[in-house]
Structure 1
């Protein structure tokens, strides 16, 4: 069985895909998955589900939700529930099950190891496979509590780093034209990320589109000035100058 949290929350068991319609129970499962194999206190779970508006019988209601969640996760071939009661709360034990974020992390580690060893093609494939696990905004409707919201911020940063590494590996392999449209889409998604502007300028330059590369720099400068009141970073300025003078170091290896 695989739990998927890199998008809307769902559970995949062989060919079946199921999700929870009751929001409070869905928040409960999300919080337990975010801290899989760790005890989450009843107090923290109550805060995650109700925030500052917890009812008087919140702990009793939590017990009911846990019972309903156990029923949802029950499988014919299992004798024990993955949700275990602890002294101060509950823990979801993954056991042989998968969590998509853990698989993603493993692929990123694999990609980094391959890149350090000079196996760029293998690294590029690992990063790309990892990014395929992202199905949309992470737990988009369940971010009211500190547990889920904290995880989302961390996960999105991990995805961003993976995207940058994926593009760097692709450019190293000479896939410049292939990544141009991909990078335009990433800038549309995250217009304040200077790394994507830098990578797009390099991809365009190496594709023979020098004027377009210079236009990307001007776009970055305008966005950063308007949104943050800042000039582009020194790295982006250096790349802009290198493009202007046709610096030989910009050529692909």
Structure 2
């Protein structure tokens, strides 16, 4: 059994994938999955399922959800359920390699290592494989409490980092032209991310589109000023200076 949380929560058994339709049961499973092989207390589970407004009979309701999940996860011939009762709550026994968000993090770590060693093709393969695990926003469609929200925020930050490093790897490999359209899309999705603006400037400039690269800098400046009251950071300013300096060198050489 494999557990997917990078998108709607799914159970994958061989060629069969099952989306958990019941929201509260899905939330209970999601909490156990993201804390795999750790005991999650009854109190924590109730807080994640109902947040700050649990019903009076929250504990019996939780027992029902756990019972339903055990039936859902049971397999012919297996006497033991992967969901174990262990004070003060429950624990999901699972191989970390069967949980997509843990595999995702490991692939990102692998990609980082390859990139640091200058192994561009290997880094690219790891980052692309990591991003290929995503099927939508993490735990989309599920109501989750503070523990879940914190994890979703952290994994989303790693996803953005993975996107940044994927682009950086392609720039290193000289794939400037193929990056331009995808970087415009990333900026539309993350309009305050200065890394994507700087990478787009480099991709455009290396594709012979100097004026477009400088327009990207102006767009970044206007967006950051309008939304945050900030000027571009050092990395973006350096990208602009580099383009202007190279253009000035070309003029001197031509003259």
Q: Tell me, yes or no, whether TM beats 0.5.
A: yes
CA distance in 1 between counterparts of 2:78 and 2:98 reads 16
Retained in 1: the 8 A contact 2:7–2:139?
yes
Residue of structure 1 in register with 2:173 after alignment: 173
Displacement after TM superposition at 1:142 (Å): 2.1
Residue of structure 2 in register with 1:74 after alignment: 74
CA distance in 1 between counterparts of 2:165 and 2:245 reads 27
Q: How do 1:115-194 residues align onto structure 2 when only pairs under 5 Å count? A: 115-194=115-194
The CA RMSD measured in Å over matched residues stands at: 1.5
- 3-state SS in 2 of match to 1:110: helix
Residue of structure 2 in register with 1:91 after alignment: 91
CA distance in 2 between counterparts of 1:237 and 1:96 reads 42
Residue of structure 2 in register with 1:103 after alignment: 103
Residue of structure 1 in register with 2:195 after alignment: 195
Displacement after TM superposition at 1:11 (Å): 0.9
Between stretches 133-142 and 197-206, larger displacement belongs to: 133-142
Retained in 2: the 8 A contact 1:142–1:148?
no
From the superposition, tell whether residues 122 and 95 of structure 1 become closer, same or farther in structure 2 (CA, over 3 Å).
Answer: closer
Retained in 1: the 8 A contact 2:104–2:130?
yes
Displacement after TM superposition at 1:96 (Å): 7.4
- 3-state SS in 2 of match to 1:17: strand
Retained in 1: the 8 A contact 2:97–2:103?
no
Between stretches 50-59 and 215-224, larger displacement belongs to: 50-59
Structure 1 gap ranges (5+): 249-253
TM-score, structure 2 as length reference: 0.93
- 3-state SS in 1 of match to 2:232: coil
Retained in 2: the 8 A contact 1:34–1:147?
no
Retained in 2: the 8 A contact 1:120–1:172?
yes
Displacement after TM superposition at 1:61 (Å): 1.2
Between stretches 142-151 and 28-37, larger displacement belongs to: 142-151
CA distance in 2 between counterparts of 1:190 and 1:28 reads 31
From the superposition, tell whether residues 61 and 230 of structure 1 become closer, same or farther in structure 2 (CA, over 3 Å).
Answer: same
1:241 aligns with 2:236: no
- 3-state SS in 2 of match to 1:245: helix
Displacement after TM superposition at 1:132 (Å): 0.6
CA distance in 1 between counterparts of 2:203 and 2:94 reads 42
- 3-state SS in 2 of match to 1:139: coil
CA distance in 2 between counterparts of 1:174 and 1:49 reads 48
